[in-house]
């Protein structure tokens, strides 16, 4: 990947997107998570909406994708707005998308395009917080990301972690007020260089300094001793709770379980399917995401950076970003559908904001939050539908305007969770999941 994609315009490095925080080198995240899950859940299920989905795969486009050049083209606008790309028909009458997304165009009958999404934060960090937590950022509260909330509120499958992230997210403490125990189980590495290669995925935060991986967890005694030393050291720092050994053991059981190891073993898939997803980290991560959901993981985030296109927007999109997204996103949706999994799995493709309708002097587009679009598919979301419109030049929503907290509320409604559910901070303060969000009924099947 070209070096210009390693940081965005505000200087954030791709590796800054996930930080485990207080969990530290030896990955206290998972054992703490298991410890906290043993407590009674605060949220009640009384009056909860009907559960339509069991899991979410979030496809995160870090940097702010130019959705006016992807999902909501303006072919009749002036040249300085419409840009270089032409719309093409999809397999849904009346819905057109970018010519560089021909494979996605063939699965639009399984998806919804939300073209009237908007907010008011044109800065990467806080906009990412808004999109990934469903709450406007505030100094008073650090909100948990959506995956952390599902970890807290949904029952968990034994033998697999509840929340997994591949690569880039920009939320330093993803667990927010829930604590670091609800941060994601972070995966690094790639998917192998060829269709027959074994993936070299590595688990951040649960590895030893000498590079132990999932395949090297058989030496239980040595590993347990090293973990015990690390836990004792961290216990002195006050970041652990009593009785950690039991959860410690369960954490290792998750990492050693057949479900977890098999989910990461992409050689179990047909080479042709691996190739369909794309033989790169993003594509193979998406395939692993499907396998993890199949094994019982509730929330998986996969990410592709490089969308901060202040210059040479059309070159970057046509030659790099869009072809890769087209291949992987279409393969993921089609594969989930072919396996009968799409009915219970939501795919959510989004970035932190859109980009300016007017093209700048560098053939790029700048930050623009007042109009943007996202793609949703599966899990109770309406199919073959485009929700809302923007004005003639894509400046702002014209009909059916909605916000990130509305979309988050709708997704959680599909998961059978009342978006008005209250959770408590460590100090006992009650906080509603999405303080301003509403369920967008028109997005539901």
Tens of pLDDT, residues 48-97: 899 999 999 999 999 999 999 999 999 999 999 999 999 999 999 999 99
Pairing of strands 55-61, 299-304: parallel
The pLDDT of residue 161: 87
The pLDDT of residue 321: 98
Mean pLDDT for 321-331 is 98
Give the Cα separation of 376 and 4 in Å (integer).
Answer: 29
Give the Cα separation of 245 and 298 in Å (integer).
Answer: 25
User: Is residue 41 a contact partner of residue 284, using CB atoms and an 8 Å limit?
Assistant: no
- The full DSSP string for 264-290 is H-GGGS-HHHHHHH-SSHHHHHHHHHH
Give the Cα separation of 56 and 36 in Å (integer).
Answer: 22
Mean pLDDT for 222-232 is 55
pLDDT-based confidence at residue 243 (cuts at 50, 70, 90): very low
- Residue 328: left if φ>0, alpha if ψ -120 to 50, beta else—which one? alpha
The single-letter DSSP state of residue 181 is G
Share of the chain above pLDDT 90, in %: 65
The pLDDT of residue 60: 96
Domain edges within the chain = 3-443
pLDDT, tens digit (0-9, with 9 covering 90-100), for 150-187: 999 999 888 888 999 996 556 557 899 998 888 888 88
User: Is residue 52 a contact partner of residue 330, using CB atoms and an 8 Å limit?
Assistant: no
The CATH architecture of the domain made up of 3-443 is 3-Layer(aba) Sandwich (3.40)
Mean pLDDT for 438-445 is 98
- H or E segment at 333? helix 322-338
pLDDT-based confidence at residue 427 (cuts at 50, 70, 90): confident
- What are the helix (H) ranges across 339-395? none
Query: ∠72-277-217 over CA atoms, to 5°?
Result: 125
User: Is residue 183 a contact partner of residue 161, using CB atoms and an 8 Å limit?
Assistant: no
Q: What's the mean pLDDT when you consider all of the chain?
A: 84
- Residues contacting 16, CB < 8 A, separation 6+: 170
Dihedral sign, Cα of residue 364, residue 367, residue 373, residue 374: positive
pLDDT-based confidence at residue 426 (cuts at 50, 70, 90): confident
pLDDT, tens digit (0-9, with 9 covering 90-100), for 113-138: 999 999 999 999 999 999 999 999 99
More confident residue, 82 or 2: 82
What three-state secondary structure class fits 115? strand
pLDDT, tens digit (0-9, with 9 covering 90-100), for 346-356: 999 999 999 99
User: Is residue 364 a contact partner of residue 309, using CB atoms and an 8 Å limit?
Assistant: yes
């Amino acid at each position: 990947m070209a070096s210009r994609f390693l940081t965005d315009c505000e200087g954030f490095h791709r590796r800054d997107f996930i930080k485990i925080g207080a969990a530290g080198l030896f990955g206290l995240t998972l054992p703490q998570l298991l410890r906290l899950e043993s407590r009674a859940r605060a949220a009640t299920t009384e009056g909860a909406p009907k559960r339509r989905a069991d899991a979410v795969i979030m496809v995160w486009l870090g940097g702010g994708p130019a959705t006016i050049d992807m999902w909501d083209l303006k072919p009749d606008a002036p040249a300085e707005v419409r840009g270089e790309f032409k719309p093409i028909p999809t397999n849904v009458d009346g819905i057109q998308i970018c010519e560089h997304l021909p494979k996605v165009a063939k699965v639009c009958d399984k998806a919804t395009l939300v073209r009237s999404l908007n907010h008011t934060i044109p800065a990467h960090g806080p906009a990412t917080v808004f999109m990934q937590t469903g709450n406007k950022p505030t100094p008073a509260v650090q909100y948990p990301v959506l995956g952390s909330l599902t970890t807290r509120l949904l029952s968990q499958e034994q033998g697999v972690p509840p929340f997994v992230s591949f690569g880039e997210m920009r939320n330093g403490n993803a667990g927010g007020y829930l604590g670091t125990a609800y941060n994601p189980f972070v995966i690094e590495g790639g998917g192998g260089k060829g269709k027959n290669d074994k993936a070299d995925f590595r688990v951040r935060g649960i590895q030893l300094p000498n590079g132990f991986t999932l395949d090297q967890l058989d030496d239980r005694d040595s590993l347990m001793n090293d973990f015990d030393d690390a836990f004792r050291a961290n216990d002195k720092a006050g970041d652990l709770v009593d009785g950690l050994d039991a959860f410690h053991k369960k954490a290792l059981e998750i990492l050693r379980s057949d479900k977890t190891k098999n989910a990461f073993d992409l050689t179990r898939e047909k080479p042709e399917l691996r190739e369909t997803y794309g033989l790169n980290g993003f594509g193979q991560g998406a395939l692993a995401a499907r396998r993890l959901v199949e094994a019982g993981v509730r929330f998986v985030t996969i990410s592709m950076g490089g969308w901060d296109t202040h210059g040479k927007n059309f070159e970057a999109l046509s030659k790099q970003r869009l072809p890769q997204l087209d291949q992987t996103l279409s393969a993921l949706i089609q594969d989930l559908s072919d396996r009968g999994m799409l009915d219970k799995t939501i795919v959510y493709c989004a970035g932190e904001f859109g980009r300016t309708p007017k093209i700048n002097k560098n053939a790029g587009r700048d930050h623009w939050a007042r109009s943007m679009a996202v793609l949703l598919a599966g899990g109770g979301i309406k199919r073959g539908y485009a929700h809302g419109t923007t004005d003639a030049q894509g400046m702002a929503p014209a009909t059916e305007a909605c916000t990130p907290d509305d979309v988050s509320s709708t997704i959680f409604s599909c998961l059978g969770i009342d978006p008005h559910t209250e959770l408590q901070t460590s100090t006992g303060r009650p906080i509603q999941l999405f303080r301003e969000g509403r369920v967008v009924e028109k997005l539901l099947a």
